[in-house]
Structures are given as structure tokens and as C-alpha cells.
Amino acid sequence: MTMTPRYLILADGAFGPFTSKTAVGCIRFTPEQVVAVLDTVNAGRTVQDVLGFGGDIPVVASVAEGLTLQPNVLLIGIAPAGGRLPEAWRPVLRAALDSGLHVWSGLHVFIGDDPEFAELALRRNVQIVDVRKPPADLPVSSGRVRDVDATIILTVGSDCNIGKMTTQLAVRAALRDLGVRVAFAGTGQTGIFIDGKGIAVDAVVADFIGGAAERLVLDAAKDADIVLVEGQGSLIHPGFSGVTFGLMHGSLPHALVLCTQPSRKTIRNNDWVSIPSHKALIALHDAVTTPLRYAPTIAIAMNTFDLDDDAARDAIERAMAETRLPATDPVRFDPSPIAEAILAVHEARLAAR
């Protein structure tokens, strides 16, 4: 997965701002990699018409129509109900493979394990990439990233689905604008599609969570001075905290960016878990990073999408007053305060060498 993708995104019947997270993420962050969206419902419109952003990327009705725009990958941008492969998708996948498109999927069911598609891909010499299928040769992590010169930054969060990937991508753009050599280490399916590489750490065998994170950082650090690791889950999430913790100890960040949502008071789907204050969350992260490599929390990234402008600015002010750290909504307002805090950590490390 190192070529530059030109995606035809399959989102048939479900293309919209809240129904196609992967499609929307790719369009938001790498619109230049998206040649078209396949959705028979909205065919003939532009992505801008449907999402409110995305410009004049067309929505097409078929693989054949999409092919005129010269994609090289059919990207599955929605998740089917029930996790199985809908029968209706089979002709679409067949047409894509038969036309010489690679197929990239983040589904739990592996497209490459389907005998018909596997045979067709082999015959047409294209690849089916199931990004949730982990590499076979992952190591157990053992602190190898301590040898890396790059400054490693991990996003952590008060909950799942709160902005850990989005923050890193917004910060990457801000750092690039400043001329910094910066790399993103994708750890979830959407982040992997956007960046064209990565490992879905939630899909590896539990013993190798840290090893996956370690490999991602070692790879990303080859060509970068700052590595932005996409965080997963939350240390207080009842279901996913093991992934969160393993990712932390495998990547051994130099500093953390804490992602929160002011309106969220309890963990989603687990309302018995209260989300504590920023200060308490920071203290918890301090406690768990200290035994291996202390990683201070250096900024707060706030997801204020459900607040009006005044309420959003007010929430950010309160977080700054509580923590004495820079805070911002990196999508709605400006990622610069976070980017600057990261640069300060990097420069302090350089100065100390």
C-alpha cells in the first residue's frame, strides 16, 4: 500500500455526512485522491451538493461511469449492516476487479478470502487489500522506538469517536505549511485509507498491539522529524482501553494531545462511566506513561461540532483555564495552537541533544 491512490469510493445507497464515515474522512482530508463516489441515489450531483464540502467531485451511478475518471482503487466507504458482504455489492466488486481496479476494504469480513474475488484479482493482477487483516509477522513491542530521533506525538481521548484521527490530520497540514517534515501513523481503517498505509491496531492479536504501534512509528520516523500517531479508544473506555493502552506503550510518545468533546458527559454506549475533568484525565495519563517514558499532555483538541460559536469558544476558554494548556477546535477554528505546542516539544528535544 505505498502507491498514491485515486479512489472510486463505493457508498451506494448510504452516501451522506453521517452514514459513510470512511468516505467522508477521505473526502475531507484527501479530496485530491478521490476521483468519484459511486452512489446510485445521488448520481449526477457533486460531493459538495451532498456533504456541503468536497467541491466538484462527481457522484456516479456505476463502475463503468467511474472508470472514465481513471481511478486505480475501488474503496469501500460504507459498512454493511450485519458485517456480511451484501449480495448487491458483488456485481460492483466484480466489475471493479475485472476492470483492473484494486479493491481496498476496511470491513471485518475479508474480501480477499472470497474465492470468486480472490481468483478474479489474481487473474487481473490487482490487489485486494483488507486493511483490518493484520501483518503476519508482528513482533511483541519492547521499546525499540526509543532509538528513534523523531518526536512522537500521540492523540488520546476521553472517549472513542471524538477526533483523535481528525486532530492529527489537521495538525499534519498545519505543520506541513510550516515546512516541517511530518508523518502520520494511521492505526484505524479510515486513517489508513487517507494515508494509503498503516495497521488497524484494533484488529491484531492482543499480544501484538504494542508491536504494531512500534512498527508504525519506526516506519514513519524514517522520513520525518515529527511522527503523529493516530490514537484509538480511551483509557476509560470499558471495551477498547486495552488497545488504547497497548498503543501507548508500543509507540512511547514524547507528548500527548488530549481530545475531548465538551458536550459529552459519559462514555458513548456506556453511560455508567462518567467522563472526568480534563485535569483528572491528564493525571491518569501521567500515571500510566511515567513507568516507561513520561509523556506530558501538551494541548487539548476539542470537538465542538454540536455547539454554537459562542458556546464553543466558551468551552475552549474554560479548558484553557482549567489546564493552563493551549486548547482549540482544530477543525472548526485553527489547529495552530496544537501544532505550535508540538513544535515546542520538538525544539526542546533538539536543544537538549
Which residues here bind a copy of itself, judged by CB under 8 A?
A: 140-143, 146, 201-207, 209-211, 235-247, 249-250, 252, 269-270, 272-274, 276, 283-284, 287-288, 291-292
Nearer to a copy of itself, 90 or 146 (CB): 146
Residue placing its CB nearer to a copy of itself in the complex, 250 or 330: 250
Rounded to a whole number of angstroms, the minimum distance from the CB of residue 275 to a copy of itself is 9
* Centroid of chain to Cα 211: 18
Q: Which three cell numbers stand for residue 203?
A: 484488529
Least distance CB 285 / a copy of itself (angstroms): 10
- Which CB sits closer to a copy of itself, 283 or 348? 283
Query: Between β-strands 151-157 and 182-185, what pairing exists: parallel, antiparallel or unpaired?
Result: unpaired
Rounded Cα distance between 154 and 252, Å, is 9
Collapse the DSSP code of 314 into the 3-class scheme (helix H, G, I; strand E, B; otherwise coil) and give the result. helix
Beta carbon of residue 293, minimum distance to a copy of itself (angstroms, whole number): 9
Q: Which of 236, 252, 235 is nearest to 244 (CA)?
A: 235
CA distance 199 to 192: 7
Contacts 24+ apart (CB under 8 A), 142-148: 142/214, 143/252, 143/292, 144/214, 144/218, 145/214, 145/217, 145/218, 145/221, 145/250, 145/251, 145/252, 146/252, 146/293, 148/217, 148/218, 148/221, 148/227
Smaller CB distance to a copy of itself: residue 85 or 182? 85
Choice between 280 and 348, CB closer to a copy of itself: 280
CB of 186 to a copy of itself, least distance (A): 16
User: Quick one: 91 or 242, whose CB is closer to a copy of itself?
Assistant: 242
Nearest CB to a copy of itself, comparing residues 42 and 105 = 105
Gyration radius of the chain over CA positions: 20
Instruction: Determine which helix (DSSP H) or strand (DSSP E) holds 64, and give its type and residue range.
Output: helix 63-67
Element (H, E) at 129: strand 128-130
Nearer to a copy of itself, 102 or 132 (CB): 132
Sign of CA dihedral 202, 207, 208, 214: positive
**Residues contacting 53, CB < 8 A, separation 6+:** 27, 28, 47
Separation CA 93–CA 240 (nearest Å): 32
Please, what is the minimum distance in Å from the beta carbon of residue 160 to a copy of itself?
10
Distance CA 302, CA 316 (A): 7
Which of 33/289 has CB closer to a copy of itself? 289
Q: Which distant-in-sequence residues (6+ apart) come within 8 Å of 108 by Cβ?
A: 83, 132
